[in-house]
Amino acid sequence: MASIVPILAPMAGYTDLPFRRACRRYGLYYGTTALIDAGALVHDNPDSAAILHRGEEEEWLQVQLLGSIPSDLRRSTEILRDGPWHFDVLDFNMGCPVHKVAKRKAGAALMREQELAFECVSVIREIWPGRLTVKMRILDEEEPAPTVELAQKLVSLGVQGLAIHGRLAKMVYSGPVHTNIIRAVREAVPVTVTANGGVFHWEDARKLSEETGCDRIMVARGAIGHPWIFRELLQQEPYLPTKEERLDLMEFHLAEMVKEYGERGAMILGRKIVSGYICGQGFPRELRASVVKICTWQDFQTLLVALRNDAAGRAY
């Protein structure tokens, strides 16, 4: 089959610079920041700096913007345009299904508030000088027309690429990915379409690519604790890391987080990262449970030694 172009999806709380650096060790080129809230950016939220931090070695990086207030989107787009990051793409979020986002008519809720969505996209397009894309979901599980029509309208407003998660917003991450809807959009618009949803291993990506006709495949939760998925997609075959490789990468990832957030912040934020690397790998329950007690680098090193010495740990 044709080669696959793997893309890291934006994931709040995950796809920061340390996460991307772990993925880039396995061939990731098309990286994405975690989503940045337009209001937070306008009002100089202290978390924004880490979300937007771009490594000097990152050749390509897109930023994802979330919001539904046109004035905030205008100002935040100006900040992203004029700032020091030089992002290659601005991606507008119309796919996030979580309630706290939807209640603000942002994310996937914009797909049901289409006049507002079009106003938001038009404001961003007016300000952003580079490539503009939209990440969205499907609107109907059986009938392609609603999703196709929305995609066509977005393209008419100057959107140059679409990433489509093949589930309804209400399904969040459960249920089948409706690849026929993604294929219908790909065949109906003259811009690049990226398929998203349910990719945890190479075979998932192969199936998604074949059924949608998309060579661009976006990986989200499948990269958590599994950065080598990008090697799998690039080489089109499974990759089985050793236990030692898994733990070495986890240590690298946490060390990068210390550089980014300081020891205390990194250990708190890093608990879910550690869990991603070790859950489902045959380690004893008591070791997995001890992750929530990590507060210092020494705590992490103590756990790491125990994991390295545990005979039950396995590669997969």
Domains and CATH numbers, the chain: 5-235 (3.20.20.70), 243-309 (1.10.1200)
Which of 226-231's residues contact partners 24+ apart within 8 Å by CB, and which partners? 226/200, 226/276, 227/19, 227/22, 227/23, 227/25, 227/26, 227/28, 228/26, 229/6, 229/26, 229/199, 229/200, 229/201, 229/202, 230/6, 230/8, 230/23, 230/26, 230/27, 230/28, 231/26, 231/27
pLDDT confidence of residue 312: 59
Q: What angle do CA 63, 67, 71 make, to 5 degrees?
A: 105
How many whole angstroms separate alpha carbon 288 and alpha carbon 275? 7
Of 198, 202, 145, the C-alpha closest to 175 is 198
pLDDT confidence of residue 316: 40
In 10 A of CB 293, how many CB atoms?
11
Mean predicted confidence (pLDDT) in 143-156: 98
Residue of 96, 214, 279, 295 marked active site? 96
Query: What confidence tens digit (pLDDT) does each residue in 169-223 have?
Result: 999 999 999 999 999 999 999 999 999 999 999 999 999 999 999 999 999 999 9
- Mean pLDDT is lowest, of 131-140, 145-154, 274-283, for 274-283
Distance of CA 198 to the CA centre of its chain: 13
In the predicted structure, residue 315 carries a pLDDT above the cut 50:
no
Is residue 96 part of the annotated active site? The answer reads: yes
Of 140, 196, 118, 65, the C-alpha closest to 110 is 118
How many whole angstroms separate alpha carbon 73 and alpha carbon 225? 33
pTM of the model as a whole:
0.95
Of 179, 188, 109, the C-alpha closest to 155 is 188
pLDDT confidence of residue 1: 64
Q: Residue 36's beta-bridge partner residues?
A: 65
